Structure 1
Amino acid sequence: MTRLPAAMATPSVTPAGSVPKGKRADFLTGNLVSDTPEEYVRQNIEKALVRQYKYPAADCEPEFPIKVGSSKKRIDIAVFTAGNAHTQANVRVIIETKRPETKATSRTEGIGQLHSYMAACLNAEYGMWTNGDDRYCFAKRPSSSGGWVFEEIIEIPAHAQSEEDAQRPSRKSLVVATADNLLFAFRRCHNYIAAHEGKQKTEAFWELLKIIFTKIEDERSPKINFYATPSERANTALASSAKKRIQSLFKDKVVRKYPGIFEPRDEIIDLSPAVVAYVVTQLQNFSLLLSPVDVKGVAYEEIVGSNLRGDRGEFFTPRNACRMAVEMLDPQPMERVLDPSCGTGGFLITAMNHALAAIERDQRNQWLDPSNGSDLERQELYRRRTDYLSQCVFGIDLNPALVRAAKMNMVMNNDGSGGLWQANTLLNPHAWNPDLRQRIPLASVDVIVSNPPFGANIPVDDEEVLAQYELAAVWDEGPDGEFSIRRDRFNVPVMQRSQPPEILFVERCLQLLRPGTGRMAMVIPNGILNNPGLTYVRRWILSRAQVLAVVDMNRELFQPKNDTQTSMVLLRRLSAEEETVAAKEGLDYPVFMAIAEKIGHDKRGNTIFRRTPEGEEVLVLRTEQLQQIDQESGGEVFETVTVTEKQVDDDLPDVADAYRDWLASQA
């Protein structure tokens, strides 16, 4: 049994000191600051200024003091004219960040405060006010009376970018989202639609997804046409032009390309022109295709989860749990991957991107210049990616809304949406869609990742469904401790009246796996593993599969929505020969077991951070390679980013590392 308490777990990144409780390291200066809701907003903007807007960190300063009349004030973030001294006269951009509940109309902390600071800094040209959920950008213009007017604009210019280019995006000017800034943008759009359209929550959500999807498809085109001008956003009459442009893109590029997601009745974006123009301006400067998977995933899954989370035992698997399971299973290129209860696709996207990363590494290692392939080399990489996505990635879910959302999520994360179906995985495969039945016959899948719906309140009681499963039968324990299926006088198995779906999913998944090599990771309620009344289930599993690993998950894994105690169980389907041996004498093999005491959040869903024995929060250096858009050529380039941040108190990456080490020791 591997136990990984927080104080003993080995960090997966480089240690970089610690900070006292209630403090955090400022992104720009490294100085300790109070960890408040307002500071959370400011740190996201600081990261955006450097990574998205490309301002040198040396030209930015938080808490910069200025004089406003006879008073002394502090600008939350000041951006100075490139390379010049940090003086009030050299301030070019002023950013005011506020805690989320602050109103833009507040007399003391609202937009008026930003305007007064911009007026006091004579050379300040631009300003931004944000509380995370709301965001306003302004340009300062001279007025006819000798003063200033503050004109709302769509976006402040990036470093070395003109104001005109900032308002009308080109491929070169698109930025990769960092931290939670895409989450803030999605949330702003969602809230704006809710406030300005008389629609039900779910209806408004689908209209937002239409616009997001249009944005993604437009990025695949040679010329960027997904935009709204400042005048279109400011003027209701002119907003019609923006809606007409976006509507045309949606109909021509999205509906026709993805008939499995959008039907002809969906081809109208049912939002007012003014709302369309606003939403477009919040998204137009991002590159959704190149933004990191986790950044997109957090943003997308928040709005999906708040709108589509169902009442059928559907609790979306946290991304860190998905990553742990996938790292342990290590799906390889050209292995067929399936999630038979895919929800919005989180598990499947994690597995898909794991294999795609292996494909990319392999191809780049064959390039003359691994950082920049030739046209032919890139074409071969694209061909291998396309083959994998079209042949190896599959998902099924009963909820049609979740399948639709999963298809959108897949397209936003490298595609692969063609292999998703709406179906009841537990039905007899003969009742499945013919295409699904042909693409995923039983005993054909290499890797399964799944968090099936579970709970006694959603029993499966259809006799035809139950008749397919040995685990739906009544099992009797003999005097020798062996279990057998109870049969009637005609030797027909006696079936239970109902069975929780998670038990049937275990059997169905093993049926789907390739004998001998197929392996799976499944979130399973601990009752299956320790309830005396379910001993027959455990005995059946041992007769059909090798237990590779059992990871006891913290009870807070699905909090704040569900507190069921669960484990991540990894199984390999036995071959026919192994089943024979298992039935006669059993199989003897080691099993990796671990307890994940920390899973990165508490029962309220709040992130928790790792602490030193003295109670200070651990700081780490994290280095990652991000795709960016070259400002000269418009092509894709890689940039290595190193940041100092608090380490999330999460044992799951350590469990995956320990499992890989354990596997190596078994070889």
Structure 2
Amino acid sequence: MKERHTEERNTQYSNKDGYIIDFISGKEIKGTPEEIDATQPFSKILIQDYFYTKDQIQTRPQWRVKSSPSDKNGNYPIDIAIFKNDQKKDEDLYIIVECKKKTQKDGLKQLKDYLKLSSAELGVWFNGNDTPVYIQKITKSNGIDFQQIPNIPKRGERVQDIGNFKRGDLIVPHNLKTIFRILRSHLAGNAVGTTRDEELARQLINIIFTKLYDEKFKSYEEIVDFRAGVDEEPIIVKKRIDEIFIKVKAKYKDIIEFNEFITLDANSIYYVVGQLQNYCLVDAQRDVIADAFETFIGYALKGPQGQFFTPRNIVTLMVEILDQTPDEMIIDPACGSGGFIVESLRHIWKALDEQGNKLNWGNLALNEEKQKAGMSKIYGIEKDSFLSKVAKAYMAILGDGKGGIFCEDSLEKPENWARNTQQSIRLNSFDCLLANPPFGKDIKVIGIDKLSQYKLAKKWKKEDDGFKITSNQNTEMPPQILFIERCLDFLQEGGRLGIIIPETYFHAPMARYVMEFMAKHNIFCLIDLPHNTFRPHNNAKCIAIFIQKNKPQQEKIMMCAMQEMGHDHQGKEIYRWNSIDEESSGELWDDIPLIIDEINHIKAQLPIHKEQHWIQTSLLHNKTLDGKYVFWIESQEVQRTKVYVPRYYWKKKEEDLGQFAEKEGCELISINDLITSKIITYFDGHGSPESENKGKGEIPYIRVKDIVNWEIYKDPTSKIPLKVYQEMHKESKRLQEGDILYVRRGSYRIGSVAMVSRFDTEVLLTREILVLRVKEQNKLGITPYYLLYLLSHQITQEQAKNKILIETTLPNIADRWRELKLPIHKNKEKIKDISERIKSAIDAKWSAIEKIQNIAKELGALTT
């Protein structure tokens, strides 16, 4: 697996269904496709990248262009109106942006009509999917004419200033995903010679390298060569870009082949340069190359190879934790386009800046040390030849580290690597390693010769309370398992690694041998990555584990848990919820900066200890107070539970829920305590019948999806014959009215509950459904109705999120449902009141069901 960044989206959603918050006005508006895909993203670009202010932009209410001088109200609404100042007068209208979902031809015609009827000088047409078009109105003696321009000017600039940039004028981009999506759309529809995404990606990346080179080798006062002026011919711009690329190839001839050229046509190059020329990509917060590659290659081409890119904020967090120093040798054995190694280089440069400042180094000495770090301390291996070239070129341009990137299979026997790879990369020689290896259900490593290197490729058998290796060899293995062992092979004694692998290996009984293999070393940190981390491209829920090779297990393990990291399952940005005002706060819901703040707070309290990692120093000086997201767990406790998933131990969340329960007048009592006290008994579901029996009888077969809204749905297509029911049903598992059904396994349904009615006692339950039964007249006064309430309570449901762990891609609470603490009211009259109210509602529902069934019997064989 490679590095990937969260997709940059620009829409802030309202709590009102179907509505969003307008970025400019802050008003609640309908979330139409035009707003979400075009108006809101372009509004954000105007503010962040062109520096226009919200005071000089109007979106809501829409500014209207008059159809004639006598028109007092204005007949034509404008999607985005940009004024020369904040007075917002007709005569100060400067730029009109139209964002309608229509063809370019129709959109431009309408835009030109608006420009003719107004004082605006410039226009933009953008529908969110197709290429944005920028036009300038030119008033002549014989009428009005229009010309297309490469971009619009930034605030305070003139049209003629477009393309006349000094290196110091370039700005850090905020919307790279949007920009690259626009470029991809334009090139796919207009580039001459190729429209294939893979080839377009190669071409765009070559152009990006020319820009990076131009930025790196220009002083702040020099005019950049990577530019496209308003009146320049595209062929002139293409010639200038080709000349930069010749310099790139000359300087990095061992990376970019002599016969490689930028083959895009002049008009395409002119457009790409026009879109990128405002920005400084060297200083971009996101990995420019990975953003470009991912935007163009897409899921279809990346997926089979497991090339899902690690979000940049995750990369930054892992580098902060591993905390490489300038003296350490670093490697990423699955480096992709270079995200981990580039971030590691930046981290080392930052340390060198601090060291140079402290020791009064001059710029020459500092640059020598930085170049030395890039050339001799950082290494990467990548199996994909194109990606390895990209990583080489990226490292070469940023840090002259081109010689440290090799195109090899890290899992292959080292003696089968190329000679120059063997000379530069040896096992047991690196101090630090970061990796996000490829994984996916369809990716397998085969070949007995290759697999014979690995203990983890052997078959393991369960023995006593653990697993024991056998001499039998597997014929194929998932790469992520082998990468664990190979990453440890790369490290010298005491070396540190951070690696991302699926969560199933951190708790699932059948995968426990992998965890036991890792636990032979010192596990010093675990990060619980949100399930959305690699979505929408990959549904895997992952953990980042940090290991120190061949060192005894430290007393406490530092753990990091978070709820969100910036985007949802569709890749859209998500925002924190303001529960007081019941609306979105507008703040990106990314817990990672808060985790880094807590980590930096710990580091700031520590004395300098060159021979020891900062986490070990924290333990030595007892600086292990828990924060909200960073906390410390006794390693013996983790070894006892055999669960290495941080959210399972997230005490802060449980403490908050405990305080909430106290305010509600409740006491938290675990289900296990209720079982021990014999207030509750339980048993599993009956099992699953053969598929050939489904839909062939009258007995309902109840699956996870059938537990909804506190009742049991009887799917007529799943009913089974009575004979099958009698064979699978046991008297000890006979259902009774008032039993509570609890879903304990199944995607997104865990924690759903239903009450068994008098109509539901003869059904067959899948094993994923648990049956809970309340003892009558118990000492706490709990009734089945109250238990239904308790299991549905927010406090219980929130706890379950920390108990539900992922096996491959399927959530499972296993037996951890017993650990859930129920918020039981201390006042028994309150328990009685809640029970009676829920009983009344349930009785009414059951009465309605009975009436419907009677009608069905009277009127014939009806399906309800």
TM-score, L = length of structure 2: 0.61
Rounded to whole Å, the distance in 2 between the matches of 1:413 and 1:194 is 29
Distance change in 2, residues 1:53/1:341 (3 Å): same
**Aligned residue number for residue 605 of structure 1:** 571
SS at match of 1:505: helix
2:422 paired residue number: 437
Cα distance between partner residues in 2 of 1:436 and 1:397: 12
Say whether 1:313 aligns with 2:306: yes
* CA shift in 2, pair 1:294/1:404, >3 Å: closer
Task: Give the equivalent residue in structure 1 for 2:349.
Answer: 356
Partner-residue secondary structure (3-state), 1:570: strand
Kindly tell me: are residues 618 and 435 of structure 1, through their superposed partners in 2, closer, same or farther at Cα, counting changes over 3 Å? Answer: farther
1:573 lines up with 2:574 in the alignment: no
Indicate which of 142, 147, 150 corresponds to 1:154: 150
Counterpart position of 1:225: 225
1:256 and 2:259 are equivalent in the alignment: no
Q: Could you tell me how far apart the structure 2 residues matched to 1:255 and 1:452 are?
A: 30
Q: Secondary structure at the match of 1:347?
A: helix
Distance 1:499-1:86 versus aligned 2 partners, 3 A rule = closer
Q: Which residue of 2 aligns with 1:499?
A: 477
The answer on 1:209 being equivalent to 2:205 is: yes
Whole-Å separation in 2 of the counterparts to 1:524 and 1:600 = 20
Residues 42, 416 of structure 1: alpha-carbon distance in 2 compared, 3 angstrom cutoff: farther
Once residues 61 and 362 of structure 1 are traced to their aligned partners in structure 2, the CA distance between those partners, rounded to angstroms, is: 49
Q: For the Cα contact (< 8 Å) 2:13–2:21, is it kept in 1?
A: no
Once the two structures are superposed, the pairs formed by residues 445-594 of structure 1 within 5 Å of their partners are 445-455=430-440, 457-476=442-461, 481=465, 484-486=468-470, 493-516=471-494, 518-543=495-520, 545-575=521-551, 578=552, 587=553, 589-594=555-560
Corresponding residue number in structure 1 for 2:785:
none
TM-score by length of 1: 0.77
Aligned to 2:174: 179
Q: For residues 155 and 502 of structure 1, do their structure 2 counterparts lie closer, same or farther at Cα, with a shift above 3 Å needed? A: closer
- Identity fraction in percent: 31
Partner secondary structure for residue 302 of structure 1? helix
CA offsets, 1:148-193, max 9 Å, x none? 2122222333344333221x3332584324332x433333332333
Structure 1 residue aligned with 2:699:
none
Give per-residue Cα distances to partners, 1:211-259, cap 9 Å, x unaligned: 22222222334453333454555xxxxx444433332331x21222223
- Alpha-carbon displacement from aligned partner over 1:400-432 (angstroms, at most 9, x marks no partner): 122223335546766644422110111222322
Give the letter for the 1:546 counterpart: N
Q: Secondary structure at the match of 2:437?
A: coil
CA distance in 1, matches of 2:355, 2:34: 44
- Mark the CA change 1:50 to 1:559 in structure 2 (over 3 Å): closer, same or farther: closer
Equivalent-residue separation in structure 1 for 2:41 and 2:397 (angstroms): 22
Match of 1:80 in 2: 83
Q: Which has the higher contact order (CA 8 A, sep 6+)?
A: 1
Secondary structure of 1:68's counterpart equals coil
Q: Secondary structure at the match of 1:407?
A: helix
Instruction: Summarize the Cα distance change of 1:24–1:447 in structure 2 as closer, same or farther, 3 Å threshold.
Output: farther
1:464–1:157 Cα change, 3 Å = same
What's the offset of the Cα at 1:262? 1.8
Question: Structure 1 residues 564 and 47, CA, compared in 2 at 3 Å: closer, same or farther?
Answer: closer
1:138 aligns with 2:114: no
Provide, for residues 182-211 of structure 1, a one-character-per-residue CA deviation record: whole Å limited to 9, x for no partner. 433333332333223343332232122222
Kindly provide the amino acid, as one letter, of the partner of residue 390 in structure 1: M
On the 8 A contact 1:178/1:295 being kept in 2, the answer is no
Cα deviation 1:304-326 (Å, max 9, x = unaligned): 44585141333222333323322
Cα distance 1:85–1:541, how it changes in 2: closer, same or farther (>3 A)?
closer
Structure-to-structure mapping, 1:43-192, within 5 angstroms: 43-55=40-52, 58-62=55-59, 63-69=62-68, 70=71, 71-81=74-84, 85-91=87-93, 93-98=94-99, 101-106=101-106, 110-122=107-119, 124-132=120-128, 133-145=130-142, 147-166=143-162, 168-171=163-166, 174-180=169-175, 182-192=176-186
Alpha carbons 2:166, 2:224 under 8 Å: kept: yes
Rg comparison, structure with higher value: 2
Specify which of 169, 172, 187 is matched with residue 193 of structure 1: 187
Q: What's the CA shift for 1:614? A: 5.4
Taking the aligned partners of 2:48 and 2:567, their CA distance within structure 1 comes to 27
Counterpart selection for 2:404 from 410, 419, 427: 419
- Residue in 1 that maps onto 2:724: none
- Identify the match of residue 242 of structure 2 among 222, 228, 247: 247
Segments of 5+ residues of structure 1 without an aligned counterpart are 1-16, 234-238, 368-375, 487-492, 579-586, 620-644
Residues 84-122 of structure 1, C-alpha deviations (whole Å, 9 max, x = no match): 73311122x2131416x443223xxx2233323322333
- Separation in 2 of the partners of 1:357 and 1:23? 44
Q: Structure 2: 5+ residue runs without aligned partners?
A: 1-11, 603-614, 624-864
- Structure 1 residues 327, 290: CA separation in 2 closer, same or farther (over 3 Å shift)? closer
User: Could you tell me how far apart the structure 1 residues matched to 2:13 and 2:206 are?
Assistant: 44
Cα-to-partner distance string for 1:589-617 (whole Å, 9 max, x where unaligned) = 22234554434333333333221335844
Q: Is the 1:177–1:295 Cα contact (8 Å) retained in structure 2?
A: no
Pair 170,148 (structure 1): closer, same or farther in 2 beyond 3 Å = same
**Aligned amino acid, residue 148 of structure 1:** I
Q: What is the RMSD computed on CA atoms of the aligned residues?
A: 3.5
Question: Aligned pair in 2 of structure 1 residues 245, 188: CA closer, same or farther (>3 Å)?
Answer: same
> Counterparts of 1:626-641 in structure 2 under 5 Å?
none
User: Number of matched residues?
Assistant: 581
Q: How many Å apart are 1:512 and its aligned residue? A: 1.2
Q: 1:591 to 1:289 in 2, by over 3 A?
A: closer
Aligned partner of residue 169 in structure 1, secondary structure: coil
Name the CA shift for 1:455/1:296 in 2 (closer, same or farther; >3 Å): closer
AA paired with 1:80? F
Q: Give the CA deviation at 1:274.
A: 3.0
1:332 aligned to which of 322, 325, 340 = 325
Deviations 1:354-396 (A, max 9, x none): 33334345546777xxxxxxxx844444333322222222211
Contact 1:183 1:298 in 2 (8 A): yes
Match of 2:279? 286
Offset of residue 506 of structure 1: 0.8
Kept after mapping to 2: 8 A contact 1:18/1:612: no
- Structure 2: how far apart are the matches of 1:607 and 1:528? 29
Q: Which moved more, 1:66-75 or 1:417-426?
A: 66-75
Hey, what's the Cα distance between the residues in 2 that align with 1:599 and 1:81?
A: 38
